[in-house]
Every structure is written in structure tokens, then in C-alpha cells.
Amino acid sequence: MYERVLLTLDTSEFAERAIPHAVAVATAFDANLCIFSVVPVMQGDDAAAANIDWDAEVAHIEEYLAGVQKALRGHGIDAEIELRRGNVTEEILIFSEKFEADLIIMSTHGRSGLGRWVYGSVADRVLRYADCPVLLVRAAGEPDE
């Protein structure tokens, strides 16, 4: 049923709550697993104000993803890694098509109500626009909506 599973991570503890679900699905279906992350690109005044060392940020995320990949090997899963730069939602959707994902697994981050309306929700947008099923893992302690 699931041959190609895309696990999205952003280095947060909330995102990591999706890992056991990805392990279970990849194991149950002997599916190829890709660990995917996006370095969000800020533009204009936001980028200047952030004063971010992009090379250091990319190196940090690459190291993080390699650590997750190594941990998954301990579960007998040989996952590949993909890191992109850009708009998080767009990059997830674009890569899920390129990877020919049968399932996207990601966690929610606990925003509800006004916070979700103001900041938007990557999970909501991926759920709406993905061409494949999306498994959303609710972060523990997340408020009921």
C-alpha cells in the first residue's frame, strides 16, 4: 500500500513525534523512507533583520538529519535524506511529487485559533494540497480545538 513515505522534520521536538509513526509505517510496508527538511528562506527586510548565518543553519540541519538517519538504521530502516531551501509548504509539496510519495508523515505544532490564523499552518496547507495521503501526528500536550 505504501511504498514511498516522506517524513518531514524541522529539528523541533514536536516534529520528532512523527518519527515513531514513520518507523511503524516503513517497517509494516517495507517502504522507502525519505527524511525531508526545509531551510526557510526569508526575503527583504526579514532576512536582514534576522541576521542568520545560513551556512551554519544548513550545517546544523544536515547534522541533525544525519543523526535521525543513523537512529533509523538502528530500526533496520535505510532512509534517504533531502534538504531544500525555500517556502516550507511549497518545498514539501514539490518534493513529495518528485519523490512520488504515497504518504507524507508530519506533526502539528500546537497552534490553534488566532495563532494558526495569523501564522498559518504548514500542516494545514500540506493536508489541503498534497496529492497523496497525509498522516498528521498531533503533538502531545497540544490543546483541543
Measured CA to CA, the distance from residue 65 to residue 90 in angstroms comes to 20
- Which of 81, 132, 105 is closest to 22 using CA atoms? 105
pTM summary value: 0.85
Cell triple for 98: 518528485
User: Cell numbers 514513520 label which residue?
Assistant: 22
Cell triple for 121: 499552518
**Residue 137, H or E segment:** strand 134-137
Measured CA to CA, the distance from residue 15 to residue 12 in angstroms comes to 5
Give 80-137 pLDDT, tens digit per residue.
999 999 999 999 999 999 999 999 999 987 555 444 443 458 889 999 999 999 999 9
Domains assigned to the chain: 4-137 (3.40.50.620)
Three-state DSSP class for residue 6: strand
Give 11-57 pLDDT, tens digit per residue.
988 899 999 999 999 999 999 999 999 998 766 655 555 566 778 88
| The pLDDT of residue 120 | 54
DSSP state of 130: -
Measured CA to CA, the distance from residue 139 to residue 142 in angstroms comes to 5
| The pLDDT of residue 108 | 85
74-79-80-84 Cα dihedral, nearest 10 degrees? -90
